[in-house]
A and B are shown apart, each in its own frame.
Chain A
């Protein structure tokens, strides 16, 4: 075991784990941040999507020893009041069914909206293709992203 310092959601956190431990399990088991989900362990489902220096990444494919000083944002750290436009839109449109994949969906969608504040359906399809939803809430995820774009635009209009 080795000690690593991870910068998670704006805080420096020490974890004492094997070097090859995926960030996913350090978050879940060591730091108790259960919002990042285990789905496949091979980077094929997107349930474990977090942001690394603002870019979406698969936490199951990222050994803790490789993270270094890069800043990790998890679903718990997306917004201090859990009122990110995506989190608002997801509730407004009642997107989840079982909800297990939704943290990963939101983290991926967040990166999309940063790049394309008004994404087309094709851009949504393209950006979200790596995230599985077994309940198949895709119709509402699409609508949720569009609605979040509206909310974000409204917020900027007011400010």
Chain B
């Protein structure tokens, strides 16, 4: 009935032996393919194992390893599709298994929409290399030149003689061949792809719809105990004392203890662990727990206080200047029209459906630690555990489970290091499960922020001045000598650092971008499209304000702003170039697909446009909305045009990401917000932290991919950012009301 999550013996053997197989190609940390050994030995299993990702049995069955964590982005399906394409095997004959954390796979972090771009080319080469070996084996068997052979559907064919050998029959011979020279490996012509670009269902769908154990929280080991971990409600606080004896008397409780933790707000936070014989017995014992907390300085912080600080800061020069071009004040003084506006957005939580959890098993006899973690960032999890407890990495095994949503939350490893801390105190495997309340209130949050903007247009309706004073949030971090200094610094949270290159920086002759950090004890972390997920809303809303001030069409105003150059270089050595031509093309395409400017809307209806470049993707969107007189918003239609390069890997997965990003974008615009009161997060569950549900879902989401000659890039993030400004600009077109504060649910959109 139940299935243990640990890998089956056969899978263990597979991975264990990968290090010693005949023709081992791995993806090294640098991303290059390298022959790690090539001594002509045959894999002990008798299978053909040309590299760490591909195994072909004598029965022709193909097993492919997914190295990246699956968090709902579809990578466990799409990257193996690349291998299968180059291998020329029938996808129905392919089995995909999740790889553990293993250096042989190279980087395994699934963040920043990097899984596709960093692996795509390598995976083509890995698949093609294996195919080359199989062709050579067949050519040898037939004594014909390899060039006369071709592959199809898991077999090598010799056209002239009509002979055919299935891959299974070639396993022995192929295993004995040396690794081909990289120059002799020919990748498939994209025109010949049979699998890439088609719609393929997720490899785990059958298990998902039948409720089989897949996720971290489903981990079940013999003798396993269940833990909960209670942290100070005031972020940054710590427990001083607790009624542990009373807690230990609760039914099923096996242990209760204080964990000291560390200073690192994103590391092992201090707290109280309760270990029981079931999840519920651990949860219900919490009701008896009474803790004396040292709340720390965080207790002085509140959202209203931060707002007052931000307003005060807005009247002062920024703490740092991120960009200064020309003379903004002079340009504003000389502008035909100017606009001033303040935009604000709150802290939000990730709220992945699967609460954070991790199973850990510490064996005191040999000091090894085994982890089962729903993580996006297994390497970072292992590293945090290693440094926190001084356990060598070689003694830490990490099994990557499926994640019930990521959105950046599982790039953090706090839940892993907590499980590791608890496991060292009990003599059994232990599963730590966060309650939803823990998950919402002890997130590594998307930082709130405040933007104080001024802009000006000239008599011809062109943008001539842009000033943003961004008030952001930061934690104080002690810099070690080894990091190049010993002073403490204020480090803005993930996504809370505004680059001077952020559009329209670089495009406006008179541009001043300043930033002031507010110190807080709130841990922050990457949240789907960090930075971009709010900057796109602020800047494309304000650009829209300026377009309307200039009396210009919002698309025409933006096209003119983008200008005629095809490429704008990044500033400084680390600046990212901006391919203006790609952005112009998606913007023009979305205007055309949406019939922009050619449709008449009645009052209460309207269209809005926005674009954004992030995570290597160029995306433009048009939203059409209806706002009732009472102020109820309905998004009728969203048109998305995305340029993410030369190839869509899995069309079904890609469309799913686009639809999901659009609706997540709308959800995040409309609903979630966290209040902070005396250092505590006020909201605690979905009942007071609403997210979008089925009835608010737009009925029409149209997806268009522009195929270009550029490298193939990721799609987990870049479609998210333009949605919010497109909708808010449409609301303005429909009602004349400008949304300058999130969430939208707080705004009165009624009109008469």
Binding site for B on A (CB under 8 A): 1, 17-18, 20-22, 25, 28-42, 44-45, 47, 74-76, 78, 82, 86-87, 90-92, 94-103, 106, 121, 124-126, 128-142
Residues of B with C-beta under 8 A to A125 = 694-695, 697
Which of B201, B217, B691, B694 is the one whose CB lies under 8 Å from A91?
B201
Q: Top 9 A-B pairs ranked by shortest CB distance? A: A35-B211, A98-B72, A100-B404, A32-B2, A75-B211, A136-B663, A99-B208, A97-B72, A82-B210
Interface of A is mostly: loop
Q: Are B695 and A25 in contact (CB under 8 A)?
A: no
User: Counting CB contacts under 8 A, is B204 at the interface?
Assistant: yes
**Cβ B353 vs Cβ A42 within 8 A:** no
Q: Is B226's CB under 8 angstroms from A29's CB?
A: yes
- Smallest beta-carbon distance B281→chain A, Å: 7
Q: By the criterion CB–CB under 8 Å, are A98 and B686 in contact?
A: no
Most buried by B among A31, A38, A92: A38
**Distance in angstroms between the alpha carbons of A134 and B686 in the assembled complex:** 11
By a CB distance below 8 angstroms, the chain A residues around B435 are 41
Cβ-defined contact, B664 with A136, below 8 A: yes
Would A18 and B251 count as touching, CB distance under 8 A? yes
Among B2, B353, B667, B694, contact of A98 (Cβ-Cβ < 8 Å): B353
Listed A/B pairs (24) with beta-carbon separation below 8 Å = A18-B280, A29-B278, A33-B1, A33-B2, A34-B213, A34-B220, A37-B217, A41-B435, A42-B685, A42-B687, A44-B685, A74-B211, A82-B206, A91-B205, A98-B72, A98-B354, A99-B208, A126-B695, A135-B72, A136-B663, A138-B694, A139-B659, A139-B701, A142-B694
State whether A34 touches B218 (Cβ < 8 A): yes
**In the assembled complex, B391 has its CB within 8 A of some CB on chain A:** no
Candidates A1, A94, A100, A139; contact of B697 at CB < 8 Å: A139
652-703 of chain B: CB within 8 A of chain A: 652-653, 656-657, 659-664, 667, 685-687, 691-695, 697, 699, 701
Given contacts A103-B211, A139-B659, A140-B656, contact A134 B353 (CB under 8 A): yes
Task: Collect the chain A residues with CB atoms within 8 Å of residue B496's CB.
Answer: none
* Closest partner residue, chain B, to A121 (CB atom): B699
From B1, B404, B407, give the contact of A37 (CB < 8 A).
B404
Complexed CA–CA distance, A100 and B439 (Å): 16
Contact A101 B353 (CB under 8 A): yes
CB closest chain-A residue, reference B658: A139
- CB distance A139 to B663 under 8 Å? yes
- CB of B209 within 8 A of CB of A98, answer no
Q: Which residues of B contact A90 (CB under 8 A)?
A: 205, 208-209
Q: Are A131 and B353 in contact (CB under 8 A)?
A: no
Task: Find out whether the CB atom of B217 lies under 8 angstroms from the CB atom of A98.
Answer: no
Interface centre among B199, B204, B208 (most CB of A within 10 A): B208
- B178 close to chain A: CB less than 8 A: no
Nearest-Cβ distance from residue B210 to partner chain A, whole angstroms: 4
